[in-house]
Amino acid sequence: MFHKEGHTIILTSFLITVGLTILVQLFIENETIKRLLFVIFLILLVLILQFFRNPKRTFTKDSNSIVSPVDGKVVVIEEVFENEYFQDKRLQVSVFMSPLNVHVTRYPVSGTIKYSKYHPGKYLVAWHPKASEENERTTVVVHATQWGDIMYRQIAGAVAKRVVNYAKEGNQAIQAEDSGFIKFGSRVDVFLPLDTKITVQLNQKVKGGITILAKK
Protein backbone atom coordinates (compact mmCIF):
# COMPACT_ATOMS: atom_id res chain seq x y z
CA MET A 1 0.00 0.00 0.00
CA PHE A 2 1.26 3.48 -0.89
CA HIS A 3 0.42 6.81 0.73
CA LYS A 4 -1.82 9.16 -1.26
CA GLU A 5 0.92 11.83 -1.24
CA GLY A 6 3.01 9.56 -3.45
CA HIS A 7 0.47 8.59 -6.11
CA THR A 8 1.41 11.30 -8.62
CA ILE A 9 5.16 10.92 -8.07
CA ILE A 10 4.95 7.13 -8.36
CA LEU A 11 2.97 7.30 -11.61
CA THR A 12 5.32 9.92 -13.06
CA SER A 13 8.38 7.92 -12.04
CA PHE A 14 6.96 4.75 -13.58
CA LEU A 15 6.23 6.49 -16.90
CA ILE A 16 9.69 8.07 -16.97
CA THR A 17 11.27 4.69 -16.24
CA VAL A 18 9.32 3.04 -19.05
CA GLY A 19 10.24 5.87 -21.44
CA LEU A 20 13.93 5.73 -20.58
CA THR A 21 13.94 1.96 -20.91
CA ILE A 22 12.47 2.20 -24.41
CA LEU A 23 15.01 4.85 -25.43
CA VAL A 24 17.90 2.76 -24.14
CA GLN A 25 16.60 -0.27 -25.99
CA LEU A 26 16.31 1.70 -29.24
CA PHE A 27 19.50 3.75 -29.20
CA ILE A 28 22.12 1.87 -27.17
CA GLU A 29 23.66 -1.25 -28.66
CA ASN A 30 26.17 -2.20 -25.96
CA GLU A 31 24.48 -4.90 -23.87
CA THR A 32 26.59 -4.23 -20.76
CA ILE A 33 25.63 -0.55 -20.73
CA LYS A 34 22.01 -1.50 -21.33
CA ARG A 35 21.94 -3.84 -18.34
CA LEU A 36 23.65 -1.27 -16.13
CA LEU A 37 21.13 1.44 -17.05
CA PHE A 38 18.19 -0.92 -16.56
CA VAL A 39 19.47 -1.80 -13.08
CA ILE A 40 19.88 1.90 -12.20
CA PHE A 41 16.35 2.71 -13.41
CA LEU A 42 14.93 -0.19 -11.41
CA ILE A 43 16.79 0.77 -8.22
CA LEU A 44 15.57 4.38 -8.43
CA LEU A 45 11.99 3.26 -8.99
CA VAL A 46 12.14 0.84 -6.06
CA LEU A 47 13.54 3.56 -3.78
CA ILE A 48 10.65 5.86 -4.66
CA LEU A 49 8.13 3.07 -4.08
CA GLN A 50 9.71 2.30 -0.71
CA PHE A 51 9.69 5.93 0.37
CA PHE A 52 5.96 6.33 -0.17
CA ARG A 53 4.92 2.99 1.30
CA ASN A 54 2.20 3.05 3.94
CA PRO A 55 2.14 -0.41 5.54
CA LYS A 56 -1.00 -1.64 7.27
CA ARG A 57 -0.61 -1.64 11.04
CA THR A 58 -2.76 -2.49 14.01
CA PHE A 59 -2.86 0.35 16.53
CA THR A 60 -3.85 0.21 20.21
CA LYS A 61 -5.14 3.58 21.39
CA ASP A 62 -4.19 4.57 24.95
CA SER A 63 -5.09 7.95 26.44
CA ASN A 64 -2.31 7.56 29.04
CA SER A 65 0.40 7.16 26.40
CA ILE A 66 2.10 9.36 23.81
CA VAL A 67 3.00 7.37 20.71
CA SER A 68 5.73 8.18 18.24
CA PRO A 69 4.32 10.24 15.36
CA VAL A 70 6.78 8.71 12.88
CA ASP A 71 9.15 5.84 12.14
CA GLY A 72 12.83 6.52 12.72
CA LYS A 73 15.47 6.87 15.43
CA VAL A 74 15.31 8.90 18.64
CA VAL A 75 18.03 11.56 18.37
CA VAL A 76 17.09 14.05 21.10
CA ILE A 77 15.70 13.69 24.64
CA GLU A 78 16.23 16.91 26.54
CA GLU A 79 14.67 19.79 28.43
CA VAL A 80 14.27 22.88 26.24
CA PHE A 81 12.60 26.27 26.28
CA GLU A 82 9.80 26.14 23.70
CA ASN A 83 9.26 29.69 22.39
CA GLU A 84 6.56 29.39 19.75
CA TYR A 85 3.49 28.29 21.69
CA PHE A 86 4.16 27.36 25.33
CA GLN A 87 6.77 30.00 26.13
CA ASP A 88 8.13 27.76 28.88
CA LYS A 89 10.25 24.66 29.44
CA ARG A 90 9.24 21.32 27.95
CA LEU A 91 10.70 17.88 27.42
CA GLN A 92 11.62 17.48 23.76
CA VAL A 93 11.79 14.06 22.11
CA SER A 94 12.97 14.13 18.49
CA VAL A 95 12.77 11.33 15.93
CA PHE A 96 14.95 11.46 12.82
CA MET A 97 13.74 9.78 9.62
CA SER A 98 16.10 8.61 6.92
CA PRO A 99 14.85 8.42 3.31
CA LEU A 100 14.34 4.67 3.88
CA ASN A 101 11.85 5.11 6.73
CA VAL A 102 8.07 5.25 6.36
CA HIS A 103 7.33 8.99 6.25
CA VAL A 104 3.68 9.09 7.31
CA THR A 105 3.15 11.45 10.26
CA ARG A 106 0.60 10.28 12.85
CA TYR A 107 -1.15 12.00 15.75
CA PRO A 108 0.74 11.12 18.95
CA VAL A 109 -2.38 11.57 21.07
CA SER A 110 -6.15 11.98 20.67
CA GLY A 111 -7.82 15.32 21.37
CA THR A 112 -8.83 18.67 19.92
CA ILE A 113 -6.43 20.47 17.58
CA LYS A 114 -5.83 23.88 19.17
CA TYR A 115 -3.02 25.18 16.96
CA SER A 116 -1.70 24.39 13.50
CA LYS A 117 0.77 26.64 11.72
CA TYR A 118 3.10 26.37 8.74
CA HIS A 119 6.47 28.13 8.79
CA PRO A 120 8.55 28.59 5.63
CA GLY A 121 12.27 28.32 6.25
CA LYS A 122 15.65 26.86 5.46
CA TYR A 123 16.66 23.29 4.61
CA LEU A 124 19.42 22.59 7.11
CA VAL A 125 20.19 18.91 7.73
CA ALA A 126 17.43 17.58 9.97
CA TRP A 127 19.75 16.81 12.90
CA HIS A 128 21.14 20.36 12.99
CA PRO A 129 20.43 22.01 16.40
CA LYS A 130 18.77 25.01 14.70
CA ALA A 131 16.60 22.94 12.33
CA SER A 132 13.68 22.97 14.77
CA GLU A 133 13.46 26.78 14.60
CA GLU A 134 14.91 27.72 11.21
CA ASN A 135 13.84 24.99 8.73
CA GLU A 136 10.55 24.74 6.88
CA ARG A 137 8.18 23.22 9.43
CA THR A 138 4.66 22.87 10.74
CA THR A 139 3.70 23.09 14.41
CA VAL A 140 0.60 21.35 15.75
CA VAL A 141 -0.83 21.39 19.27
CA VAL A 142 -3.40 18.82 20.37
CA HIS A 143 -5.30 19.27 23.63
CA ALA A 144 -5.75 15.86 25.26
CA THR A 145 -7.88 15.33 28.37
CA GLN A 146 -5.20 13.30 30.16
CA TRP A 147 -2.23 15.42 29.13
CA GLY A 148 -3.27 18.97 28.43
CA ASP A 149 -1.55 20.52 25.39
CA ILE A 150 0.86 18.29 23.46
CA MET A 151 2.90 19.77 20.61
CA TYR A 152 4.60 18.08 17.71
CA ARG A 153 6.58 19.71 14.92
CA GLN A 154 7.25 18.34 11.42
CA ILE A 155 10.62 19.59 10.18
CA ALA A 156 11.89 19.44 6.60
CA GLY A 157 15.53 18.44 6.15
CA ALA A 158 18.24 19.01 3.56
CA VAL A 159 16.55 16.52 1.23
CA ALA A 160 12.92 17.00 2.26
CA LYS A 161 11.37 19.85 0.27
CA ARG A 162 7.75 19.61 1.26
CA VAL A 163 5.95 19.21 4.57
CA VAL A 164 2.31 18.12 4.29
CA ASN A 165 0.08 18.78 7.30
CA TYR A 166 -3.57 17.68 7.56
CA ALA A 167 -4.22 19.08 11.06
CA LYS A 168 -6.80 21.88 11.14
CA GLU A 169 -7.62 23.91 14.21
CA GLY A 170 -10.88 22.82 15.84
CA ASN A 171 -10.83 19.32 14.35
CA GLN A 172 -10.47 16.16 16.37
CA ALA A 173 -7.17 14.28 16.33
CA ILE A 174 -7.29 10.51 16.68
CA GLN A 175 -4.17 8.88 18.09
CA ALA A 176 -2.10 7.05 15.41
CA GLU A 177 -4.22 8.27 12.47
CA ASP A 178 -2.56 10.13 9.57
CA SER A 179 -1.78 13.77 10.33
CA GLY A 180 0.53 14.46 7.40
CA PHE A 181 3.58 13.44 5.41
CA ILE A 182 7.14 14.74 4.94
CA LYS A 183 8.75 14.03 1.58
CA PHE A 184 12.33 12.67 1.48
CA GLY A 185 14.06 12.67 4.87
CA SER A 186 13.23 14.79 7.91
CA ARG A 187 12.55 14.99 11.64
CA VAL A 188 9.64 15.33 14.06
CA ASP A 189 9.93 16.93 17.51
CA VAL A 190 7.43 16.20 20.28
CA PHE A 191 7.13 18.60 23.25
CA LEU A 192 5.84 17.17 26.53
CA PRO A 193 5.24 18.38 30.11
CA LEU A 194 8.34 18.29 32.33
CA ASP A 195 6.88 15.63 34.64
CA THR A 196 6.32 13.20 31.75
CA LYS A 197 7.81 9.71 32.08
CA ILE A 198 9.86 9.12 28.92
CA THR A 199 9.84 5.45 27.85
CA VAL A 200 12.39 5.53 25.01
CA GLN A 201 16.15 5.98 24.87
CA LEU A 202 18.55 7.82 22.59
CA ASN A 203 19.26 5.98 19.33
CA GLN A 204 16.27 3.69 19.85
CA LYS A 205 14.37 2.81 16.68
CA VAL A 206 10.67 3.62 16.85
CA LYS A 207 7.54 2.97 14.79
CA GLY A 208 4.90 5.60 14.13
CA GLY A 209 1.64 5.02 15.97
CA ILE A 210 3.05 1.97 17.79
CA THR A 211 6.11 2.80 19.89
CA ILE A 212 5.22 4.57 23.14
CA LEU A 213 7.39 7.65 23.71
CA ALA A 214 5.96 8.57 27.12
CA LYS A 215 3.40 7.59 29.76
CA LYS A 216 1.60 9.35 32.59
The catalytic residue positions are 186
The residues with which 131 forms a beta bridge, in sequence order, are: none
Strand order through the sheet with 65-67: 65-67, 212-215, 197-198
Q: How far is residue 113's CA from residue 107's CA, in Å, rounded to a whole number? A: 10
Instruction: Please name which of 106, 3, 96 lies closest in space to residue 48, comparing C-alpha atoms.
Output: 3
Q: What angle do CA 173, 174, 175 make, to 5 degrees?
A: 115
CA torsion 75→81→84→85, rounded to 10°?
Answer: 100
